[in-house]
Amino acid sequence: MMTTENSQPGLVIVPEDVCKKVIDRASAFTAVESVFAAMAKGDAYNFPVIREAIGYADALYGFKSGFDRAGMALGVKSGGYWPGNAEKGLTNHQSTIFLFDPDTGKLTALVGGNYLTAVRTAASCAVSIAHLARKDAKTLGIIGAGHQASFQLRAAAEQRQFEKIVAWNKSPERLDSLAAVAADLGLPFESLDREQVAAQSDVIITITSAHEALLLNDWIRPGTHIACMGTDTRGKQEVDAQLFATASVFTDEVAQSISIGEAQHAVDQGLLTQDDITPIGDVINGVDGGRTSAEQITLFDGTGVGLQDLAVATTAVELAVAKGLATSVAL
């Protein structure tokens, strides 16, 4: 991690607009893939997540933090979900990332976290597609059309030679945003019901805030890769728990997967244990073979870990300082 003492004095501040200028999908992918690999080796670890309903504005608020010894990144992301923000012209997810010097504990950087959360979540999904989806995957399915979905589509489209995008959303009119992204990518787009999305897709991304199964086990055809990216809180659910008994299951972090991730329901029902779940970092590091056949169904439980945020924020600070786009203040 960059240390401010060696580059510019004071607390480095990297606002949202600068993050958008310095972090692209490629840099986010590299940062996330690297930190997943470090986690699997035991060189980086997340601290317990705090996530609570605050009893006001229907908001969820919490903290994700950790330490990456390999990348020398120590910090915390503070923020949450305010469902009424869209009506105020704001992003529902609001967050800020704080980085500290691992040698002294001194606060070194304050980084806008909204854009970085979106790109790191999309990068996590893209990493799973790169390492687990069939090489000949042609149709990409998306369940959900919120703010995050467009980021997911753009990142996923770079990992395989997709020929078609199919999607479903509870409010079909909101699919227009995804259709526009597909058009920008030069890919045909079709709105379908959930079962037809499953029937046609080689890769499926779920990115919703659902509390019920939107995809059933019987709908998923052999060879599909599913990336469950929406469940990050106790009680949320996007897919049939039975799917975890059918698929080979991978995740960013096992502890979060079984507690607040999509796997929580399958664990509660006795359909799998934590020993049945493989960290995606083991696949990246070559310890686990990942997909072993064209018929295998693979599932990635993307719970979203604090180390992802620290990885992309550290990169953002380094690039912003190098390009003269960061500012600093004395505390």
Report, as residue numbers or ranges, the catalytic residues: 77
CB atoms within 10 A of CB 25: 16
* 211 phi/psi in degrees, rounded to 5: -120, 25
Residue count of the chain, please give it. Answer: 331
Contact criterion met (CB below 8 Å) for 115 and 121: no
Amino acid letter for position 271: L
How far is Cα 179 from Cα 61, in angstroms, rounded to an integer? 32
Instruction: Please give the structure tokens belonging to residue 125.
Output: 């999904």
| Structure-token match 């020398």, residue found | 72
Q: How far apart are the first and last CA of the chain?
A: 20
Residues 6+ apart with CB under 8 A from 292: none
